[in-house]
Every structure is written in C-alpha cells, then in structure tokens.
Amino acid sequence: MLSPDSLRSRYQQVRAVSERICAPLETEDYQIQSIVETSPPKWHLAHVTWFFETFLLKPHLKNYQVFHPKFGLLFNSYYETLGTFHPRPKRGLLARPTVNEVYAYRQAVDEAMTRLFEALEKTPNPQVARFIELGLHHEQQHQELLLMDIKHNFSVNPLKPCYLSDLPHHHVTHTQPLQWHEQAAGLYELGHSDQTQFAYDNESPRHPHYLGAYRLANRLVTNAEYLAFMEDDGYLRADLWLADAWHHLKQHPWRHPLYWEQDDQGHWYEMTLGGLRDLNPHEPVCHVSYYEADAYARWVGKRLPTEAEVEVVVADKPLQGNFFDQGTLHPMPSTQAGQWYGDLWAWTATAYYPYPGFTPFEGSAGEYNGKFMSNQMVLRGGCCATSHNHMRATYRNFFYPQDRWQFSGIRLAENIQ
Amino acid sequence: MLSPDSLRSRYQQVRAVSERICAPLETEDYQIQSIVETSPPKWHLAHVTWFFETFLLKPHLKNYQVFHPKFGLLFNSYYETLGTFHPRPKRGLLARPTVNEVYAYRQAVDEAMTRLFEALEKTPNPQVARFIELGLHHEQQHQELLLMDIKHNFSVNPLKPCYLSDLPHHHVTHTQPLQWHEQAAGLYELGHSDQTQFAYDNESPRHPHYLGAYRLANRLVTNAEYLAFMEDDGYLRADLWLADAWHHLKQHPWRHPLYWEQDDQGHWYEMTLGGLRDLNPHEPVCHVSYYEADAYARWVGKRLPTEAEVEVVVADKPLQGNFFDQGTLHPMPSTQAGQWYGDLWAWTATAYYPYPGFTPFEGSAGEYNGKFMSNQMVLRGGCCATSHNHMRATYRNFFYPQDRWQFSGIRLAENIQ
Amino acid sequence: MLSPDSLRSRYQQVRAVSERICAPLETEDYQIQSIVETSPPKWHLAHVTWFFETFLLKPHLKNYQVFHPKFGLLFNSYYETLGTFHPRPKRGLLARPTVNEVYAYRQAVDEAMTRLFEALEKTPNPQVARFIELGLHHEQQHQELLLMDIKHNFSVNPLKPCYLSDLPHHHVTHTQPLQWHEQAAGLYELGHSDQTQFAYDNESPRHPHYLGAYRLANRLVTNAEYLAFMEDDGYLRADLWLADAWHHLKQHPWRHPLYWEQDDQGHWYEMTLGGLRDLNPHEPVCHVSYYEADAYARWVGKRLPTEAEVEVVVADKPLQGNFFDQGTLHPMPSTQAGQWYGDLWAWTATAYYPYPGFTPFEGSAGEYNGKFMSNQMVLRGGCCATSHNHMRATYRNFFYPQDRWQFSGIRLAENIQ
Amino acid sequence: MLSPDSLRSRYQQVRAVSERICAPLETEDYQIQSIVETSPPKWHLAHVTWFFETFLLKPHLKNYQVFHPKFGLLFNSYYETLGTFHPRPKRGLLARPTVNEVYAYRQAVDEAMTRLFEALEKTPNPQVARFIELGLHHEQQHQELLLMDIKHNFSVNPLKPCYLSDLPHHHVTHTQPLQWHEQAAGLYELGHSDQTQFAYDNESPRHPHYLGAYRLANRLVTNAEYLAFMEDDGYLRADLWLADAWHHLKQHPWRHPLYWEQDDQGHWYEMTLGGLRDLNPHEPVCHVSYYEADAYARWVGKRLPTEAEVEVVVADKPLQGNFFDQGTLHPMPSTQAGQWYGDLWAWTATAYYPYPGFTPFEGSAGEYNGKFMSNQMVLRGGCCATSHNHMRATYRNFFYPQDRWQFSGIRLAENIQ
C-alpha cells in the first residue's frame, strides 16, 4: 500500500492527467456521446470526481458538504445501492453542468481531498487509503475510456476532426516475425498474489489452474496479416464465424476493422487520435471485436488463448511496452523483445466470470466489478491508452464480444499435441 | 413584394433575431438534440445560413466561393435534389463546426449577402428578391423551432436549467368566458389571394370551399378546462380516443400535457422558457398532441374545427395577438377581444394535403412543403414563438398527430344543426 | 331495409359464402397470420360469428347462453367498450379452438339466429333488423379480408402453394385506351342519401361539397403503364416520392408491386389466388400502396383523384364490374364500358376523416368506423374480392398509406384549367 | 458403438417416440411457434427427418432421390455449409407441407433408412453407423425440444388447453432435507472418456481440471425455498442481480418463474404438461433463467456450481432419475438417494466454451455444437423430458442466460474454506 505522502502525490499526478487528456478539446467536444457505449468527456471528468466525493469525502471528511445535491443523480454511473441515476444512453443530452462547472467541481473536490490527506497524515487510516487508491485506478480506467470515447466521437463527424494533430508518429516499417512461446503443461497459480500491491477484487483469490501444453504468439496479429483474411473473403464465409457473430454481421455488415477506410484506388487508411493515416501493415490490427478475433484465428488455423494461458506467460515478463505514458496513443509494430504488454488489449477465449472463491469489494464498491460477470469476454495486457502504473500481469479487462471501440487486438495460441 | 431596400433591412432584422434568441445559451446548450424531432440550436443557425448560401449566393452572387465544402452535407436538412445529407437523428453528434465557427459562417454569408443586395439595387431581379423573402420566412420558422427545441432540450435535464430567468410574467388571473362565433353555411374562398404579399406555395391557389353552418370558439381551451378532463379519467377511457391514439398511449403512457409536473401535494407546475411556474388555470392548455386535442373535444361534446372553418373566421379579424414580438414566450389568458391569433397553434381536424391545383415552388424549393403532405395535421393561428410579420390568415402549419413539443393548443367548434 | 324474410335468406347466403371461401383450405392454412395486419382464416370465421352473438343473440334472443365464456376475449377484434381482447399480433398463436370447433361455433350461432329470425317474424324489430344487416355487411367485409389474407399467407411460403388451381382465367390481351371523363366545376352533394338502403355511418350525412373542374380516368392504370415507371427508375428517384414514402422505401426497399417476381431472363410473373401467372400487361396494376400510387401519378404528370371527385362521377354509373361474384378473384383488363367499379379499390388523395356532421353508430357499434379516422387514406370502387351486393357508390374503404396487401390500384385525375 | 442390428432397433424406437410425443396434438397444434426460440412441432418432425436424409441417405444410399427439392430450404435448421435456409422466426408461417405430408416424409425416409440398414449389414461402415447414432441423439434432443415447445405453445393460449390430461401425478408431499456432498480439492479429469460410447464433440477431449474443495447440494432448490426468495422481494432488489440481468428485468418485469400463476387469494398454480396444478412446495423450482438462478444463489448466500464441479460428483453416481421414460413430464420432489440426474437441468456458473483441444465433428456436422460456443451457459444433469439413453455424466447442455422455457432448475454449491 502507498504511503500517505506518495498517495497524495499520486493523486495529484492522476488527476492532472485527466485534464491533460482533455486539454485539446473544444467545449463542444466535451458534450458528445456518439454511441450508447461511450460517455461524453465532460461526464467522465465529473464521474471520477463524484467517485472521490462519494466514497471518500462524504463518509470520511468531517463536515464535508456535497458540491451539488443533484450530481449524485447525474454522475453515479451504475451503483444501484447508491440511489437512482441518470440513464446511461442520455448522458449526451446533459448540456448542464457546463464544462466550466465541471472543472469547478473537480477543483472543489481536489481541495477537499487535500484536507482529507492532511487528516490522513495525522491519523492514518488504511481503509481510507485503500479507497483512495481504488479511486485513482478508477480514474485511470476512465482516462483510457476518455481516449477511446474521444476517438469514437471524432470518428462520426464527417468533418473528420483530429484530436491531436501533432501526435508523435513512429514510421517503423517492419515487424518482428512471429515466434511461439512454448509453455509446458502443468498446474499453475493464477490471480493476484502480492497483497501489498493494489489489485481489483476480480483478480483474486490466487488459485491453482491446470493448463495443457501450448504455444503463445510473442506478438499481436498485424494489419498485413488481417488484410490477408479480408482478401480471402473472411467476412463473407459463414463457416469461420460463431453463430451469434454471423447473426451480428447480418445486422452490422462489417467488412473491416473499425476506423479503416478505403479510397477509390483501394488504398487503406486508418483513423487515429492523430488523424487519418495510411494503414501501416506492420502495426498490430486494432479495433476488432471478439467475433472478428475469433474468426481470424479460425481462418489462420490457430485459436485465441485463454486468459490463464496469457497470464502464466506474461507473469514473469517485465512490465514494459507501449503504454499511455509513451504518448503515441496508437499501437506500434512489435520489436525484438516481443509484445507482451501494451499496444493493444488482446482478446482471450475466456468468458469473464469470477475466480473460485471470489469476494467482491465491501459495500457499494462491490458493484465495481462483480455484477458485470456475464456475457463479456476477458482481454489482457493493457494498451497504448493504459497508464503504465495502472497495469499488472493479473489485470482482467472485459468487453462484450461485439465491442470494438476499445484498443483491442488479436494474440494467437495453439495446443502442443 | 418588398423593395430591395426594405428587403435588406428586413434581412438584417431577421438575422439578428436568430442570434438574439441564442444569446442566453451556453456553448454546451447549442449542442443538444434531445429527441430526434429537434435539432441542436447550432444546427439551426447554420442551416438557415446554408439556405441563403445555397439558394441565393451560389446561383446569384458572382464569384461566390462556398464557405466550407462539407457544410452542404452537414446543413442541408432534407433537400434530396441537392445531394446527400447528414442523417437527421445524428445532428446532435456534430461537435464541429464549433459554435464560434458557425457564427463565423453566419458572418461570412451576411457579408456576401450585402454584396448581393448591392447587386440587386443596381439590377433588380424579382426572382432573387422572392427567394430572399423565402429565406427570411424560412429563418423565422426556424426561430420558432429554436425556441421549441431549446425548451425541450432544457426540459430533459434533471438540473432543470432555465432559458430566461427574467422572462416577463403577466400574472393575469382570469379568462374571458368562451363565446361562440357563428358562421353561416355557404361557399367560401380559401387560400392565399393577395399576390403582392408573400405566402408559401401550400397556401395556394385560392379556391372555393363549401362549409355548413358552424360555431367556432373565440378562445383556446384553458388549463382549468383541461384539468377537468384529466380528473374525469380522460387519459384512461378508450372510448374517448382514436384507435391510433390509444395505441400510442399504450407505448407512451401520457397522463398530462408535456412539461406539466405534479408535486406530492397534488399541486401542478409547468415548465416554461422562464423556468418552472405554478400552473395558471386561466392560460390556454399548451403542448398537447392532436390525439389529446381530439380526445378532449370528444369528451366535452364538441369537435375540432377544420382548417377552412378557422380561416374563414379569422380572415377578417385583425392580425394581432400574443406573438414572439411581445416577448412573453408563453401563452396568456384570453382577453376580451378573443384569441384569434397568437398564443398557440390550434390543431384542426384537417389532414395536411394540397389545395386543389397546388403547384410547388420551382426547383429544389419545391421540396419545401409539398413532400410533407402525408400523415400530418394542419394547425392554424400562430403562437407566442411566431414572429408577427411571419404570420398570415392563410398560414398552414403542420405536425404529426403525436407531436406535442410545439406550442400547440385546442380550439373547439360545433355544427349548427 | 330488408324484410325479415329476405334478411333471413340473405343471412344464409352470406354465411355460406364465408365457408365456401374457406373450402379449399387445409386445416393448417386456417392457422396462419403472415404479417401483423392479417388474421388467420379461422379467426375471421369465428370473429364474424362472435359479432352476431354479441350484437344480436346476447341482447335480443331470449335465454341465449354464450357458446364459450372466453370467445369474447379471443374473437373481439377491437371493441374496447366490450372488454379486453387478445392482442391482434398474436392471433396466429391460437391453435385452439380448432377449425372444427370454430365451425361448430358457427353452426350453433346460425341455429340461434334461426330462432331470432322466427322471433323477428312474430315481432318485427327494425333496430334488430338493422344490426343483422350490419352483421352481414361486416361478414362480407371479412370475406374480402379472408381472400386478401389467404393470398398473403400463401405468398410467404417458399413452396408457393396455390389457393385455387382451377381459378377461371380470362386471357384478354388488350385494354381499352384511357379516356378522360370531364366533370364541370360546381357544388355537388356527397355521401349516402337513400335512407331505405344500408350504408355505414361513415358515409353520412349527405352534404354539399364544391369541386373545381376536373378529368377522371375511365379505367385503372395498367401493368404495362406501371412497368414504364419502374423502367424509368421510378423507385429510385426521391423527387417522385413523398418524404414519408421515401423514408419507408429506405426501410422496405420495394422495387415493384407486391406479388411480382422476375426470373433470370427478366420476365415478370405475378402471384395470384390461382397461382403464379405471367404478368399480363393489360391488367390493372394491383397491390400497390398509396405511396406508390402517388409517386406513379407524379411521374406521369397527373394526380390521384379526391374521394369526392370519384363519387360524383361514379354515382350515376351502373353498379357493375368485376366483383367477387364473377369468380375471377383477380382484376381484369378494362372493357369498352370503362372501369368504374370493381377490379381494384382505387386510392384517392383524401385522408379518411369524418364527413361534416358525422354521427357514429350507437353503442359499441360506434367503434366500427369512427375511431379509425386518422392516418389512413380513402379508397373507392370495390374490387374483385368485394361482393356486388356489399357495394355502393358512397362506400369509403380505408387503409394506411403503406398498406398493399389489399386489392388496390391506381386511377388518375387532373384539373381542367 | 452400436451393432448394425441394435442400431436399427434403436432407430425404430427413437423414431416412434417422436410420433408418440405428438400423438395427443390436434393438427392445429403442430403449427404454432409461440416465440422465436421455439419451433412448431411439425417443423421438428420434419427437421429430424431431413437430418437423416441429408447426412445419411443422400451421401450413403445408392440411387436415393430426395423427397422434395425444397425441404432442404425449409427444414435445414442452421447449417450454413448446406445452403440457405428458411429464417427461424418464420417457421410458424409454413402452413405447407401439411402435417400429413410431414408424416409421409417421415415414412419415406424411414423406408429408405431400412434399405440403408440392409446395406450396412452387408457392408459395415463405422462412419455411417456413427452418423446414424448422431442422428438418433439429434432426434432425442428434438424430442425434449418438442415437449418444451409444446408446453410453451399451449401456455400462450387463453383457453389454457392441456397437452395430456391423464398425465401421471405423484402426490409426493415431502422433500429430503438438503445435504451437502463434500469434494476434496484436486486435479480431476473432465470430459468424455469411453470411446466406445457415443458423445457429442463438445464433451471432448478428456482433460485435467483443478478444483478447490467444495460442497455440492444433493438436490435441487424447491418451490418452497424459491418462494421465500420471492417473498423477500428477491425480484426487486438490484443488489442480488447481475447488471445484465437487472437490465433484462426492466424490459421483462418477471416476478416469478415461467408458468406460475397466482389467484386472487394469493394461491399459486403452475402450468404443466398435465394442465394447471397447485404449486407443490416440495417439487424443485422449474423454468427459471440463469439470471434468476444466480440471483437466488446470491440471496441464499451460496453460489451456482461450475460444470466441472457437477461432473466430478455425478460421474460416479448411477445414471438414474426422473427422465422422460418415467412419463411424469414434470420434476418430482427429491427422494432419499438424492437428485443427481433427471428432473431438471441445473444451471452452472460456467459459460459454454470449448474444452482445451476441442475438435468439431467433421464436415457440416461440425456446425452441430461448436459455433454456438458464445454467450450461453452450461446446464447439467438432464431432465424429466430427456430420454434416459440420451444422457451421460459428461453431457453439456446450453442456453442463453435469459432463457427459461426449458426444464431448468437450480443446484447450489459453496466453497470449503
């Protein structure tokens, strides 16, 4: 657990990042909810603030007065035990509070948190410290959501606005050849172990899990590889798709990953947070759904790994890769060291369900993860929009199989017979 | 037709009104499309500007360069003959152009229009003058839409923001008793006649129309009268409703007009452009659908008038009433002179179809009215959000029978046996 | 009004026709509701029987016991004042009562009606006689619905079953050239006049109606003429369509009338109640919606007539044409005498609303027509599935503008300048 | 694998059962598809026949001519690799082929199968034998579906028809107290092992799986126990439900299991295949969804078992219980021996995904199971509508978490700390 001092500096750093992410936005951009799955940037900024207000200031800061009596209604995301909340699909209709008022809300909560930190230094309270750390990880999750949602919001505008026109660009023109990491069969331990380090409830308890021998790709599938699938009519062959996926394709006739565009000459482009770019064949394919990842794996004669297979391999790899901190906000071609973390969340073949013996966080925080354990798939590894110090080997991300506005990619696996 | 000079001053006046209506808005408010029927205020401001650019500047101003190549795509509302356009339900997702950019667009078009007016003064062109007049009436229609849409946008926000907190309030505490204007049977002339005055294509040609003897209420139905219908279970009795209306009520369980709210003590309030107010029993009931108007009339043993019955009576009444210019932006109780114009558009029992011999405007302007002649009902009389100089006795407004976000009310009629 | 004696023989004749229409059906065919607008044949047979039971036997036959306590729930179509009823979209899910049970229901009601006729002969009761006549016209309406619905039910089956393989076929290979009936402007009387003859409430009262001078086509538009519209990309040109129609076309990409099919060689066929036939260019185009009729008229530079324009012309024509009694169950090419009645219901440009002074039937029968007076369009003239003695010059049929499973066609009109 | 002789007699037995299940039906009952998830009984009878025709007769019987060229289109359920097929939601609209024609189809295929059995006796062909066995298990699955679907079809009819009025009724008025089977932690083998016995592809390969120590209930949750959950407002407390479940409850406001009804006195009834019965508190609760099973388990402080936990316990229990063969067609109270098989399929907490190393059946039969491995949950144990010789310890049934028209119940588990 972090010391009060480092917790306070961590708090300042994390809170500042959220605002730095929003700095390039126009007031109007803060307002958009392009699909029901996304939220307006303004809403994210307020919601993470409400989280500190609700879980820390109200119960733990003496004499704290809530900033606005209706912000609970507006900025509670989904905590049923904390009262009714504004319906998610209508977040984009909230012109008020204005962006300025939301920043004032942030500032007021930050000031109150300063007082809470002071109180904590006098009277340490491990439970409060743990909740602050939870609040910080929560805000970091929303920083990634901010980037995903901003990308989508911008993509639906025919003017094709650009979030950051001076986003660094790598110009790497090759990829490491795919190599297979071999892992012997055996009984492995899975899940969060180091109790001195923060983790979500859904990563525990640590438990044995048997795995047969398998190979895991040391890098993600590239755009060039995915194009071969497309050119082989991958999107048109029912035999490659799950039944639910094929049904979904009939309603949403996808023919390529989200954000790809083709011009009249057949040249492919990709919309990025730095604007429209030539599709780089060496970069990992990005913004694919589970359904597409699964179909690609079937087409290429491999399969997606389970989350256990991924965790076992990456657990002893150094936690390094192309994270948010690197500033590219876009996946990069794999380098010699392999691509074990960062760049893109890799879909796994594992449905998101509790580990044996799972116990939710106490109180309303128990709604943080547990109640979403149905109909979703686990993704692993972090991405270029994830903060490095938010990441762990045991981290379980999860999305619906049809979702693809997140930074998601494909890692392959196969059995060793 | 207006002289070039008065046309120019009219242009300046009308254009200024649109911006004055938006002056109280925050940047965020410009962005909202609360239901698919409404448009963001920003979109209205740009669309009416696009109208002048498209119908006047491009064809008639020498060397005019369009302001932005994609604004046609974004701000064309529904003119199929002018190319593809952004889908209506997604207008609220356009963060860009920003509000500032839209005002810059307005300014650029206004400047170009100044050059067009100069050219017109040198070389009068009646066709161009007519189109300018059309553009001005078009913008005045959108001014009313702006007020309707702003009202709805604000209403969906749980913070209950107020558009104009200093909106004038009348405090009138009585209504004139309802009196019946009697009209003899006969063959009447209907439609626009004075060719020197502007009218839409749908008001012509003037044509004979036979009417049996009838009585027409000299004022609109009041809140008190409508409350009696509600208290008699008006919303729960199938026998009072059209079949389509009853079906609609099952999907949308309305129990009172739009914008009404009741507190725990049973006291009624009404959201207005000046904020939440006590329901004034003497004011005309506002924001009811055709279905509600029809059910009310059946309950009270009367009927809605046809549009012809209204036009015949009001045609020789002075064109005065509670219009936008009066600044209340809310209907008022009827005064001694009766309530023949203004306050609220009164639903008629007439479906919106062409007059015998109807000829649409020429060219793309032919899409202005004609293609909407199905499934809608005519409303007559103008309202507190309609500009006085936009109104005429022959004016035909039209909405779908389930619509009720417009300023619509109920006027009764009955046959003389 | 009919004498008790002729009423009884009319009753027997009408009831027998319903069963004759169903005679070619397999038990399974009685069960199908192919779209929400249609009803299973079994349901029609029971519903018309319920009508006699409810409006005649229960109130007027001494000691009558209802056949089954739940048949009111199942076979009430839409009479809200008679209690709750089974939802229309779920009529096809009622396996029970079986077809045999429905026929037993018919027989029991017929026997009870015999007793009522006997009572009537002893004690004439004009009100009861009027309701019997209403019940007979009601059953005749459902006979037409039976044929429409059977046609649709059969059409959705890939086996392409045939209702009547020995349906008479005319082999007429020419059409009379279109001629225009000219009608002078003037004040005409419209609506039902002869109070000794039956008519629905919606045809009254007779009232004056002014018409400008016009021409009315003496026959319906033919398949050949409609094909020219199709070949001129009629379905692809937005300028020909009403806005609501164009929106509907985007959801339902129609490219030809209902029941048309084209083979690989471009040859057109039409599904009829006698099976699939070569499209006969001389027959009137059938199974088009109002939207298609309106677009065709616009394309050809004419317009659809109003219902008044049709009634004024046909009122003094002999009531003859290709009706159900002729047994073709399909429209035929126009003969020299013109095509003023029968073959196909012609869409009019008139929305279905009450005549001035309209008074619904008394009691629950008031729900028969009045409550459907919104959002629908009037059709005139009867069709090849309408019984001759069910028809009158003043008859107002009505459907939604997108409906096209009824036997509907196009008659043109134009103004005389 | 079965000998040719026993295969033939098994064929005759299985085929006869399907027809025996349908014997109580009226022709009309064969036609109904009450919800999109069910199929008309007629369709089931034809589809299982098509399966033999397609996978056995066409490829393996010399000179076989297909019965009808369009039956492939009509009765292919979902095999994309075998060509297009009639859309599932429209199966209830197929009046033709008639019931008699479907029975003729069955007879023709049975006769051709006789010839195939004769050929097999001369020239044994293990692959063909395996496919026949697959076809028989396939038909047995559809026998269970027949019973489920018939139950649902009957339930939507307000006449409340009864499938089998003389269905045996047990009148057992007690249940064994719940006992917990304790299972030690360890590495277990999971999946199908005896290659001489038939199993579906999804039960293989056998593979190690680690389990922590746990307890498994020896019987299903009873109606009385479930009523306690209901009476504690179980359906109204968001904290008991998964987020997707709560969302589903808002759309479908369930307040009790499917087929339960309460009268005005608060007395509960349950619709069964033997008609409406008093709810027996000792019987296991039936027709609950995964969402309800999961919420109940959370409320009672336990959890659902994983499929591995169930398989490990039941694998060495005798395969006996209340199956189809017993003829009750309804679950019964648990007896002393416990309730390890039969009565009801028990929901597990395991999503339906492939076992490590899963290989689908070859050819089009590969579509049998594999492509459904997403978004569904595994159920274990068989039920009162499952044939005894169709069942195995390793059998994996699967449904969507919201489904509840199948015979599904709740078995509890808990960890041993």
Tell me how close the Cα of D68 comes to any Cα of chain A, in angstroms.
26
Could D32 and C93 be called an inter-chain contact, meaning their C-beta atoms sit closer than 8 Å? yes
Share of chain B above pLDDT 90, in %: 95
> Which pLDDT does position D1 carry in this prediction?
62
Q: Which residues of chain A make contact with D241, given a CB cutoff of 8 A?
A: 371
- Summarize the confidence of residues B381-390 as an average pLDDT: 98
Q: Cβ of B3: how many Cβ atoms within 10 Å? A: 12
CA distances A173 to A229, A279, B108, D190, Å, are: 21, 11, 45, 47
Q: Which residues of chain B make contact with C375, given a CB cutoff of 8 A?
A: 244, 375, 401
The sheet that has A397-399: what strands, in order across it? A397-399, A377-380, A345-351, A408-409
Q: Which of A78, A210, A353 sits opposite D208 (nearest CB)?
A: A210
Could C159 and D70 be called an inter-chain contact, meaning their C-beta atoms sit closer than 8 Å? yes
Q: Which residues of chain A make contact with D371, given a CB cutoff of 8 A?
A: 241-243, 246
Could B357 and C415 be called an inter-chain contact, meaning their C-beta atoms sit closer than 8 Å? yes
Compare all CA atoms of chain D with the CA of C25 and give the residue at the minimum distance.
D95
Q: Which residues of chain D make contact with A415, given a CB cutoff of 8 A?
A: 356-357
Q: Which chains touch C (3 or more CB pairs under 8 A)?
A: B, D
Tell me how close the Cα of B218 comes to any Cα of chain C, in angstroms.
20
Compare all CA atoms of chain B with the CA of A162 and give the residue at the minimum distance.
B96
> pLDDT of chain C along its 417 residues, tens only?
677 789 999 999 999 999 999 999 999 999 999 999 999 999 999 999 999 999 999 999 999 999 999 999 999 999 999 999 999 999 999 999 999 999 999 999 999 999 999 999 999 999 999 999 999 999 999 999 999 999 999 999 999 999 999 998 888 889 999 999 999 999 999 999 988 899 999 999 999 999 999 999 999 999 999 999 999 999 999 999 999 999 999 999 999 999 999 999 999 999 999 999 999 999 999 999 999 999 999 999 999 999 999 999 999 999 999 999 999 999 999 987 789 999 999 999 999 999 999 999 999 999 999 999 999 999 999 999 999 999 999 999 999 999 999 999 999 999 998
How many Å apart are CA D401 and CA D396, to the nearest integer?
15
List the 251-270 stretch of A: residues with Cβ below 8 A of D.
none
> DSSP secondary-structure letter at B385?
T
Could B98 and A28 be called an inter-chain contact, meaning their C-beta atoms sit closer than 8 Å? yes
Share of chain B above pLDDT 70, in %: 100
Q: Which residues of chain D make contact with A293, given a CB cutoff of 8 A?
A: none
CA distances A176 to A227, A283, A339, B13, Å, are: 18, 11, 10, 67
Q: Which of D242, D357, D373 sits opposite A374 (nearest CB)?
A: D242
Q: Which of D81, D187, D207 sits opposite A212 (nearest CB)?
A: D207
Compare all CA atoms of chain A with the CA of B34 and give the residue at the minimum distance.
A93
How many Å apart are CA C107 and CA C114, to the nearest integer?
11
Could A28 and B95 be called an inter-chain contact, meaning their C-beta atoms sit closer than 8 Å? yes
Report chain A's mean pLDDT, rounded to a whole number: 96
| Contact status of D29 with chain C (Cβ, < 8 Å) | yes
> Which pLDDT does position D3 carry in this prediction?
79
List the 300-319 stretch of B: residues with Cβ below 8 A of C.
306
Q: Which residues of chain B make contact with A157, given a CB cutoff of 8 A?
A: 93-96
Q: Which residues of chain D make contact with A188, given a CB cutoff of 8 A?
A: none
Could C34 and D93 be called an inter-chain contact, meaning their C-beta atoms sit closer than 8 Å? yes
| Contact status of A246 with chain D (Cβ, < 8 Å) | yes
Q: Which residues of chain B make contact with A30, given a CB cutoff of 8 A?
A: 28
Pick from D309, D321, D299, D305: which is nearest to D384 by CA? D321
| Contact status of C415 with chain B (Cβ, < 8 Å) | yes
Compare all CA atoms of chain C with the CA of D36 and give the residue at the minimum distance.
C93
Tell me how close the Cα of D172 comes to any Cα of chain A, in angstroms.
37
Could you tell me the pTM of the whole model?
0.97
- Summarize the confidence of residues A124-142 as an average pLDDT: 96
Q: Which of D27, D28, D94 sits opposite C157 (nearest CB)?
A: D94
How many Å apart are CA D137 and CA D198, to the nearest integer?
9
Q: Cβ of A253: how many Cβ atoms within 10 Å? A: 9
Strand partners, A261: A269
Tell me how close the Cα of D376 comes to any Cα of chain A, in angstroms.
8
> Is a pLDDT exceeding 80 seen at residue A194?
yes
Q: Which of A209, A245, A294 sits opposite D210 (nearest CB)?
A: A209
Could A95 and B29 be called an inter-chain contact, meaning their C-beta atoms sit closer than 8 Å? yes
List the 158-177 stretch of A: residues with Cβ below 8 A of B.
158-159, 161
How many Å apart are CA D116 and CA B131, to the nearest integer?
83
| Contact status of B250 with chain C (Cβ, < 8 Å) | no
> Which pLDDT does position C1 carry in this prediction?
62
Contact indicator for A323, A388 with CB cutoff of 8 Å: yes
Could B371 and C242 be called an inter-chain contact, meaning their C-beta atoms sit closer than 8 Å? yes
Could C28 and D28 be called an inter-chain contact, meaning their C-beta atoms sit closer than 8 Å? yes
Could C353 and B350 be called an inter-chain contact, meaning their C-beta atoms sit closer than 8 Å? yes
Size of interface A-D (CB pairs under 8 A): 84
How many Å apart are CA C140 and CA C390, to the nearest integer?
7
List the 40-99 stretch of B: residues with Cβ below 8 A of C.
78, 80-81
Could C239 and B212 be called an inter-chain contact, meaning their C-beta atoms sit closer than 8 Å? no
What ipTM, to 2 d.p.? Answer: 0.96
Q: Which residues of chain A make contact with B46, given a CB cutoff of 8 A?
A: none
Q: How confident is the model at residue B227 (pLDDT cuts 50, 70, 90)?
A: very high
> Is a pLDDT exceeding 80 seen at residue B336?
no
Q: Which chains touch B (3 or more CB pairs under 8 A)?
A: A, C
> Which pLDDT does position B1 carry in this prediction?
61
Compare all CA atoms of chain A with the CA of D308 and give the residue at the minimum distance.
A356
How many Å apart are CA A67 and CA A69, to the nearest integer?
7
| Contact status of D187 with chain A (Cβ, < 8 Å) | yes
Tell me how close the Cα of C239 comes to any Cα of chain B, in angstroms.
7
Could A210 and D210 be called an inter-chain contact, meaning their C-beta atoms sit closer than 8 Å? yes
| Contact status of A26 with chain B (Cβ, < 8 Å) | yes
Size of interface C-D (CB pairs under 8 A): 88
Helices B126-155 and B41-52, packing angle to 10 deg: 170
Q: Which of D209, D216, D236, D374 to mutate to test the interface with A (most CBs of A within 10 A)?
A: D374
More confident residue, A4 or B355: B355
Q: Which residues of chain C make contact with D275, given a CB cutoff of 8 A?
A: none
Report chain D's mean pLDDT, rounded to a whole number: 96
> pLDDT of chain D along its 417 residues, tens only?
677 789 999 999 999 999 999 999 999 999 999 999 999 999 999 999 999 999 999 999 999 999 999 999 999 999 999 999 999 999 999 999 999 999 999 999 999 999 999 999 999 999 999 999 999 999 999 999 999 999 999 999 999 999 999 998 888 889 999 999 999 999 999 999 988 899 999 999 999 999 999 999 999 999 999 999 999 999 999 999 999 999 999 999 999 999 999 999 999 999 999 999 999 999 999 999 999 999 999 999 999 999 999 999 999 999 999 999 999 999 999 987 789 999 999 999 999 999 999 999 999 999 999 999 999 999 999 999 999 999 999 999 999 999 999 999 999 999 998
Question: In the 3-class helix/strand/coil scheme, how is chain A assigned residue by residue?
Answer: CCCHHHHHHHHHHHHHHHHHHHCCCCHHHHHCCCCCCCCCHHHHHHHHHHHHHHHHHHHHCCCCCCCCCCHHHHHCCCCHHHCCCCCHHHHHHCCCCCHHHHHHHHHHHHHHHHHHHHHHHHCCCHHHHHHHHHHHHHHHHHHHHHHHHHHHHHHCCCCCCCCCCCCCCCCCCCCCCCCEEEECCEEEEECCCCCCCCCCHHHCCCEEEEECCEEEECCCCEHHHHHHHHHCCHHHCHHHCCHHHHHHHHHCCCCCCCCEEECCCCCEEEEECCEEEECCCCCECCCCCHHHHHHHHHHCCCECCCHHHHHHHHCCCCCCCECHHHCCCCCCCCCCCCCCCECCEEEEEEECCCCCCCCCCCHHHHHCCHHHCCCCEEEECCCCCCCHHHCCCCCCEEECCCCCCCCEECCCEEECC
